[in-house]
Structure 1
């Protein structure tokens, strides 16, 4: 009997300990973790610099609320601003909360209500962010959604043009649709959306909850393109496993988020911020990010080389260390068999295997994962 609500279909693995890229279960079985807490543990598990920062903060203060000045909030906000196109930061506890704040800010600043998002998008599970998500399976059973969200096909600029009007507060998108199947945006589409927003007086919101904090080899995935979003949301990789999210916005938006307009009891918690500061200090180093890009390019090339001849694999795509393997069938079986061989991966949509290794993954670990993936997929090819 479990005392938990059955909201997750859990793997048959009970984790006892974790370090770096490895997990160990209660039976002593070791796994190579290419889930990373779903793009959370970008520095791997229990990175020494992050652990030391958290331990030091635990000895000082745990929580005082946002009624007080907390210096580490300013320090982390400065790091986020220095490495983005934003000017001001609001801290919260999760990606859904960051996106919720973005929706509120966009509507309050523009005094408009309609927000355009995309089919197969994912922005969270609060009522507003669920309503922003363009997936029926996320909506089912909850009754009427919040109004004024419109879903259009991803990478279709003409569809955005048709919906853009004087009531449009914002367009909200992911640079790579993670939960929707690891689908990257096209450069021309992204730049077209930004231009439409500028021309219409609408805000351009980029959801970097899964793609941000070095996951694609840049501090933020939008930096691969000629983009300067009004609002960027981040979470997952920001705190190396401690719950934290953030909204990064342009300076002119401050007027709409004054005292009393929005808040969070635990947002900006000193312990979570200590983890974030240590995380960003490591990841935002130029040499670190360059190495991520190089390793991710190698890994993608090897996947394409080793799996290209397997009939049921129809595509291998992604950006940086957010990679999807599209399967014509048997995605769930493949994930299970890889787990049996000691490699943890997960799904994205009904037919995609998603790979999210820690950014600290070594060449040896990547090669081990490649061998497991190839062996499992080749076995399936023979058995079909």
Structure 2
């Protein structure tokens, strides 16, 4: 790309509302596990759009689905059925315990829908109950309601007054959850792995206990699988690794493999929206649904999930060796949503130096790194990334 079209990354950024600190890079193209900037420098990408790019950057199956569907039908209006919408809904239900789907454009919007549905169900079937128990350090999105549900401390003072009705309790604490239940409680909502908190999995006993509490008190169990769904944790959905029967599951990120689509998937026994209660201009858009179906077909292919788990085991082994060599801490997570404590080193500093070396990482906390590579990762890319990370840690260790 000619320099005069990218030299102005600094100047042109002034046209954007600043919402986060970004390095002065402009990514031009992506291929598989790699991104390339305005200088054609390549980066091994272990962020992949924030656990979004299920099959990596610009996979052929997504390209073909976009081309084929765009030539056929892009947007008929949400007032009508379209074929990709129906086919994707069937795929999700046939491969889960759920019966019905409402498509959205983002995970936050899917979670907003779950909150609305729970409250509507409480109005109809639980004497107007509306409170939802959520968990400290959780993350459910950036709409006003989902920020209100979120247990992230930094959100607490923002955009007051927030939406009321969310009771936050410590994660993995069943007794605290039970104590928070009252006659106005309608649901419990949780991530099965708290991604933004540093990749903290829910304990098996805790989830089984939540399931039992919800049955005992006639509450809805909502699992936010925006980050964990579509194979990310080594099964199609993370709830399948627990003893639980959630009533609502929300999906996003990996569902579209890089295009904006999300979903709320429910048990039809709690389906209670009346016509006009819920909607959205682009929800169930055939272009996005066709791409999502192509991604899902790949994930459901024979051997795909087994490969995720093989590579995850290898990745954890290499991270363990790195931890032993450099004094790092615990490794957490499932499948290809992993994290490691950074021990004596700063997570954000590692991220910065790794980026300079050609490796894209995320530090959700000062003392941890999060790994969210494409689910097509192989041992070769693991070795490449581990070598780059080891080089960064060697530099930091020498500077101490």
Instruction: Calculate the TM-score normalised by the size of structure 2.
Output: 0.93
In structure 2, what is the equivalent of residue 287 of structure 1? Answer: 303
Matches within 5 A, 1:196-275: 196-254=213-271, 256-275=272-291
For structure 2, the residue ranges without an aligned partner over 5 or more in a row are 1-10, 124-128
2:190 and 2:350 map into 1 onto residues whose CA distance is 30
| 1:106 and 2:121 are equivalent in the alignment | no
In structure 2, what is the equivalent of residue 76 of structure 1? Answer: 88
Deviation at 1:251, TM superposition (A): 1.1
In structure 1, what is the equivalent of residue 57 of structure 2? Answer: 45
Deviation at 1:309, TM superposition (A): 4.0
Matched-pair contact (CA < 8 Å) for 1:16–1:26: yes
The Cα offsets for residues 35-56 of structure 1, whole Å up to 9 and x where unpaired, read as: 0100110100111111101110
1:11 and 1:175 map into 2 onto residues whose CA distance is 31
Deviation at 1:262, TM superposition (A): 0.5
1:339 to 339, 350, 355: 355
For structure 1, the residue ranges without an aligned partner over 5 or more in a row are none
2:197 and 2:173 map into 1 onto residues whose CA distance is 16
The Cα offsets for residues 86-113 of structure 1, whole Å up to 9 and x where unpaired, read as: 1000001000000000000011112211
Deviation at 1:382, TM superposition (A): 3.2
In structure 1, what is the equivalent of residue 47 of structure 2? Answer: 35
The Cα offsets for residues 226-283 of structure 1, whole Å up to 9 and x where unpaired, read as: 22210000010111111111000001122x1232111111111111101101000001
Matched-pair contact (CA < 8 Å) for 1:116–1:163: yes
In structure 1, what is the equivalent of residue 185 of structure 2? Answer: 168
In structure 1, what is the equivalent of residue 3 of structure 2? Answer: none
Query: How many residues of Structure 1 are paired with residues of Structure 2 in the alignment?
Result: 382
In structure 2, what is the equivalent of residue 321 of structure 1? Answer: 336
Matched residue of 2:269: which SS? helix
In structure 2, what is the equivalent of residue 357 of structure 1? Answer: 373
1:167 and 1:278 map into 2 onto residues whose CA distance is 42
1:3 and 1:361 map into 2 onto residues whose CA distance is 36
Matched residue of 2:249: which SS? strand
1:379 and 1:221 map into 2 onto residues whose CA distance is 37
2:25 and 2:312 map into 1 onto residues whose CA distance is 27
The Cα offsets for residues 181-210 of structure 1, whole Å up to 9 and x where unpaired, read as: 111111001111111011111100000000
Deviation at 1:24, TM superposition (A): 0.7
Structure 2 CA distance for partners of 1:286 and 1:224, relative to 1, 3 Å: farther
2:205 to 176, 188, 199: 188
Matched-pair contact (CA < 8 Å) for 1:165–1:200: no
Matched residue of 1:143: which SS? coil
Matched residue of 1:151: which SS? strand
| 1:89 and 2:101 are equivalent in the alignment | yes
> RMSD of the TM alignment (CA)?
1.2
In structure 1, what is the equivalent of residue 143 of structure 2? Answer: 126
2:23 and 2:257 map into 1 onto residues whose CA distance is 22
The Cα offsets for residues 140-161 of structure 1, whole Å up to 9 and x where unpaired, read as: 3311211110111111111101
1:215 and 1:11 map into 2 onto residues whose CA distance is 27
Deviation at 1:348, TM superposition (A): 1.1
1:308 and 1:160 map into 2 onto residues whose CA distance is 37
1:186 and 1:308 map into 2 onto residues whose CA distance is 26
